[in-house]
Amino acid sequence: MLNLTGKNALVTGIANNRSIAWGIAQQLHKAGANLGITYLPDERGKMEKKVAELVEPLNPSLFLPCNVQNEDQIKSTFETIRDQWGKLDILIHCLAFASKDDLSGDFSQTSRSGFNTALEISTYSLVQLSGAAKPLMTEGGSIVTLTYLGGVRAIPNYNVMGVAKAGLEMSVRYLAAELGAQNIRVNAISAGPIRTLASSAVGGILDMIHHVEEVAPLRRTVTQLEVGNAAAFLCSDLSSGITGQILYVDAGYEIMGM
């Protein structure tokens, strides 16, 4: 029943084979979606090469550089989608950034620039990409972003990223309220802790994972592919009545009080 054949899906946020976006891209491909992949370009082209090699088996029909701090790259990404695909059905927003200095120690010492950068890349980018996707989602659509429990509870060291995720979750609700009239659904997956490039910057991430493995109802944390399965569901007609929601894919950890 989960069939994404004929759907055009743009997936952001693949950096390597540990990326949650990689788990999502694989499951969308498995469900039959036509993929477009964006990567964060660097001066020496290392990321382009690495991500291109990784995603090759999924035969993406678009492969584009897109730094969300670069207006021109965002514009060009969506112009290319318009010209080559004609319409967009699915947008996966799976990216975040905060300086390592701001992911440990005292939250009160977060710098102005660190705060602004974290919220610009991790939060505003959802608003920006959704705004660019809106005119291309002519047959309705599904937008999915990734959040974490640190956006609703204080988690040691998550600090400024918790504030960014709180803003992201509220952006999901405002976007869902606006875009629903166009049958565009907007949801977030709140994933349990997974070892990735981004999470390795959070102080004590391994302790967080071990804690979840001890305490979560399923006595483990989750995998990228499990998050990918939930994303495929949220992008499919099986979830046609669901929008503006935060879906916990965290082995149940969120329900626990101790």
Ligand X SMILES: NC(=O)c1ccc[n+]([C@@H]2O[C@H](COP(=O)([O-])OP(=O)(O)OC[C@H]3O[C@@H](n4cnc5c(N)ncnc54)[C@H](O)[C@@H]3O)[C@@H](O)[C@H]2O)c1
State the residues that interact with ligand X by CB under 6 A: 13-15, 18-21, 40, 66-69, 94-97, 121, 146-148, 191, 193-194, 196-199
The number of beta carbons lying within 10 Å of the beta carbon of residue 11 is: 28
Rounded (10°) angle between helices 159-179 and 125-133: 20
- Closer CB to ligand X, residue 26 or residue 196? 196
Q: Which are the contacts of 10, defined by CB distance < 8 A and separation ≥ 6? A: 35, 36, 37, 38, 62, 77, 81, 88, 90, 91, 92, 133
Distance CA 115, CA 113 (A): 5
Q: Counting runs of H as helices and runs of E as strands, what totals does the chain give?
A: 8, 7
Least Å from the CB of residue 122 to ligand X: 6
Q: Check if 148 is active-site.
A: yes
Residue 228 and residue 247: Cα distance in Å, rounded?
Answer: 12
Query: By C-beta, is 71 or 79 nearer to ligand X?
Result: 71
Distances (CA, A) of 40 to 14, 62, 78, 86, 94: 8, 14, 15, 24, 12
> Biggest alpha carbon distance in the chain?
52
Nearest distance, CB of residue 72 and ligand X, angstroms:
13
174 is a catalytic site residue: no
How far is Cα 237 from Cα 20, in angstroms, rounded to an integer?
22
Helix 20-30 × helix 46-55 angle, to 10°: 30
Q: Which one of the listed residues 158, 174, 248, 253 is annotated catalytic? A: 158
Residue 185 beta carbon to ligand X: minimum distance, rounded to whole angstroms: 19
CB of 165 to ligand X, least distance (A): 7
CA contacts within 13 A on the Cβ side of 33: 32
Closest contact distance (angstroms) between CB of 87 and ligand X is 23
Of 69 and 182, nearer to ligand X (C-beta) is 69
Nearer to ligand X, 88 or 194 (CB): 194
- DSSP tag of 64: E
Q: Which is nearer to ligand X, 40 or 133 (CB)?
A: 40
Question: Which of 148, 174, 248, 253 does the annotation list as catalytic?
Answer: 148
Torsions phi, psi of 178, nearest 5? -75, -45
| Nearer Cβ to ligand X (5/81) | 81
CB of 205 to ligand X, least distance (A): 7
> Mind telling me the catalytic residues?
148, 158
